[in-house]
Chain A
Amino acid sequence: MAKKTIRTIPQDRTDIPVQEPGERVKNFAEVALGYPLESALNESERCLMCPEPACVKGCPVGINIPGFIEKITEKDYRGAYALLAEANLLPAICGRVCPQEDQCEGVCPVGDTLEPVAIGRLERWLGDMAIEEGWAAIPYRENNGFKVGIVGSGPAGIACAADLAKAGCDVTIYEALHKPGGVLRYGIPEFRLPNEVIDAELASLTKLGVKIECNTLVGRLFTIEQMREEMGFDAVFIGTGAGAPKFMGIPGESLNGVLSANELLTRCNLMGAGDFPSYDTPLHLGKKVSVIGSGNTAMDAMRVAMRLGAEKVYCVYRRTEAESPARLEELHHAQEEGIEFHWLTAPVEILDDGDGNVRAMRCIRMELGEPDDSGRRRPVPVEGSEYEFETDMVVYAIGTNPNPIIGQTSTLKLNKWDYIDADESLATSFTGVFAGGDIVTGAATVILAMGAGRKAARSIKDYLGIRDTDEIYQVKDEDEANTLFGIDRDERNFARLRTV
């Protein structure tokens, strides 16, 4: 194959079909519809197959991006998926929700002159195909006798559980809510990440033999210490997410109509409040909804409010569009859907209608001053610029604090911000107890949480003395299917059969 250059590749990034804004604000169906085959083939031709691919370094889990794209161009889709799945257990999810512009696509050199290769869309396309075709690679596993408990069923917990189950451990996930998935389930709405995708990923987990026990708040029903000492878990992984929403502490915050984005999204995504009274959980949506913040959580809350029929939805953010931490695609979609953005604006007070409900909000205009620690220019209030505007629902999406329950109920060491203190290998202050994802790093991304779950799984394998058979025995093509390989049980190792 002739070497591709920036001039020979298809110049335009292949469009992804989307639902029209006017239509989609009336439903919860997915906004971006996914590539058809020709589009995927076309887009994969745009990759230059860089010998030292920047994109791989840009991806937090180091997916072999040119590798899987090349396999797509060769029409070896299953092979492409196998390469992808080696590094990413949840491609259908990450392809949809990764902030690609800051990661893999942000550093792709094609982007210097043209639009970068749509890595995320290709990844999603393969992930969806794998779900449809039932490709999830389920190895035969033989139990190695180790029992591992996972706390929290978000992406960190899912990834850790999958890797350990594949290694032959008996894995149980405990989840506090009545449905598994973490933020993927209760936070990110269906129009960005359909429930079927989460269900499919969880189904492959149960096929690996992982047990998922919901309605279990660890710390209260039993403690981390009890898991290790009484319940027979040889190792424990904590992936409880960041959780507790922040408020600002301005006057009027306890009025009815003020809530966190987590509450709004949980009521809708998990409890079906959009279908009240057919479902029992109410929401009481306002007519004019103001969302404070401009991250992914804010975008989701605004777009849900829009879909549920709010007349006006405002975004109130103290910095500018350029500093908005949301995924670019979501920001664009939100703008197309008619959300009004009030950049450089901060709330100072929420006003009462005299009956304990929100009537209006008083805001102050901001301007950007000197850069702060994070390198972003610090917003400073413009004196005398306060103004009032009418709104009857105020939604906070300004970040989260660590959930305190594990800290309150164990002597596990926390760091000074109350996140769980974990070292390089994600080991905590308790032997055999590991932690990762948002509860260690603070609110981050799905891919980082997943990466942390996998890293913890490796550390747990080291801790338990499980050697990875893949390293010991490389499967060769001429091997017969279903050959037994691996090492002796007495060596605390696992054995499994090769599957085709």
Chain B
Amino acid sequence: MNKRGLCRTEETLSSDFIPPGFEPETDYARFEVVTREDFSDVTFLIEFYHPMMARAARPGQFVIAISHEKGERIPLTIADFDAAKGTVTLVIQAVGKSTREMQQICRTGTQLFSVAGPLGAPSHIGDAKKVVCVGGGLGVAPVYPQARAFKESGAYVIGVVGFRSKELVFWENKFKQVCDEFIICTDDGTAGIKGLVIDGIKQAIESHPDIDEVVAIGPPIMMKASAETTKPHGIKTMVSLNPIMVDGTGMCGGCRVTVDGKQQFACVDGPDFDGHKVDFTDLMNRLKRFKEDEKLAMERWAAAQN
């Protein structure tokens, strides 16, 4: 137990008293990054040590990480977890100030300021016989645990992932191990089929008329298009929504999304929702909420780097 985090404020409390059984060395050595891998100049992986979280994590759940004292709370999907090793893996796209900064500072051996998780309701891995797991952009890694879980439940799994071009492809082998079929789509056709993940989904539907479920994770526009592709076929389609979050515990309502005309809090009611019922226009609008502030933060940060 005491491998995990005691709260930070203790450091700042002026207390000369050390509670019994308190070992500063192990108690503060936490959220340690044990592996760091770079897939491209924007996509990177960090694996950190948190045995308890590794045991609790289920596909579809996420964490909220803070990289330093003044940092923001960043939601990131759990891309892999290994209870035996006691580690949790995140795959991150450096898109703005906080994620770029993480890309810069989160090296092997460093520590994250805090990580809370697993958060959100686990994906429902039902008794679907045949599923398509679709990952685009930052959704490629997060869809992996679901593909693996479906495989373990005995389903026939078709993986569909999308990248801009060949050099950006990662985890091909990892996916192949859990997928019965694996379709890579690239914008420029340098690997797999030339086109978007939508083309991959269409191809899967054509060759398999008996698909029970599609799981799509990625940018809202891609999830929207995926849901539109499957709708005429009446295939159940689950998407993992990524609205702006703060606490991730249901306390602020910042993550609210409209599903089936009703307000839901993505961090507790989701993040998985029925893609045919999600109001994507609403989601995409809400993601623009801090556009100006994000730009300012990015510019300030970039300027400070030089």
Contact = CB atoms under 8 A, between A and B. Distances in A.
B251 A262 contact: yes
Interface in B242-289: 246-254, 256, 258, 263, 265, 268, 282, 285-286, 288-289
A432 B258 CA distance: 39
Interface string A191-219: 00000000100110011011111111100
B246 A178 contact: no
B205 interface: no
A277 B293 contact: yes
Nearest to A195: B9
Contacts, number: 178
Q: Which of A211, A243, A280 counts the most B-chain CB atoms under 10 A from its CB?
A: A280
A180 B7 contact: yes
Contact of B263 (A214, A249, A282): A249
Nearest to B254: A263
Interface in A256-298: 256, 259-260, 262-263, 266-267, 271-272, 276-284
B288 A199 contact: no
B235 interface: no
A210 B22 CA distance: 11
A236 to B, nearest CB: 15
A474 interface: no
Contact of A284 (B14, B61, B98, B289): B289
Contact of A282 (B13, B116, B290, B300): B290
A263 B293 contact: no
B70 interface: yes
Contact of B52 (A221, A262, A277): A221
A211 B23 CA distance: 12
A211 B27 CA distance: 11
B8 A178 contact: yes
A172 to B, nearest CB: 8
A335 interface: no
A356 interface: yes
Interface stretch (B117-125, B140-148, B165-173): B117-125
Interface string B46-70: 0000001100100001000010001
Q: Which of B72, B97, B300 counts the most A-chain CB atoms under 10 A from its CB?
A: B72
Given A215-B114, A279-B70, A243 B250 contact: yes
Interface stretch (A52-60, A401-409, A439-447, A482-490): A401-409
Given A220-B119, A254-B258, A403 B246 contact: no
B290 A284 contact: yes
Contacts of A259: 252-254
A111 to B, nearest CB: 37
Contacts of B285: 254-256, 356
A396 B254 CA distance: 12
Interface residues of A, number: 59
A216 B97 CA distance: 26
Nearest to B15: A203
Contacts of B6: 211-214
A206 B15 contact: yes
A176 interface: yes
A253 B73 CA distance: 24
A211 B118 CA distance: 21
Contact of B72 (A180, A210, A281, A405): A281
Contacts of B53: 221
B188 interface: no
Interface in A382-421: 396, 403-405, 408
A231 interface: yes
Interface of A: 143, 172, 175-180, 186, 199, 202-203, 206-207, 209-217, 220-222, 231, 243-245, 247, 249, 253-256, 259-260, 262-263, 266-267, 271-272, 276-284, 356, 396, 403-405, 408
16 contacts: A199-B13, A202-B13, A214-B5, A214-B6, A215-B114, A217-B249, A221-B117, A243-B250, A244-B250, A244-B251, A263-B246, A266-B247, A272-B70, A356-B286, A403-B250, A404-B268
Given A222-B56, A403-B251, 15 more contacts: A176-B249, A177-B116, A178-B66, A179-B8, A206-B19, A220-B56, A220-B117, A244-B250, A256-B289, A262-B251, A262-B253, A263-B254, A271-B72, A281-B73, A282-B294
Across the A-B interface, the 3 shortest Cβ-Cβ residue pairs: A282-B293, A214-B7, A263-B252
Interface of B: 1, 4-10, 12-15, 17, 19-20, 22, 52-53, 56, 61, 66, 70-73, 97-98, 113-121, 246-254, 256, 258, 263, 265, 268, 282, 285-286, 288-290, 292-294, 296-297, 300-301
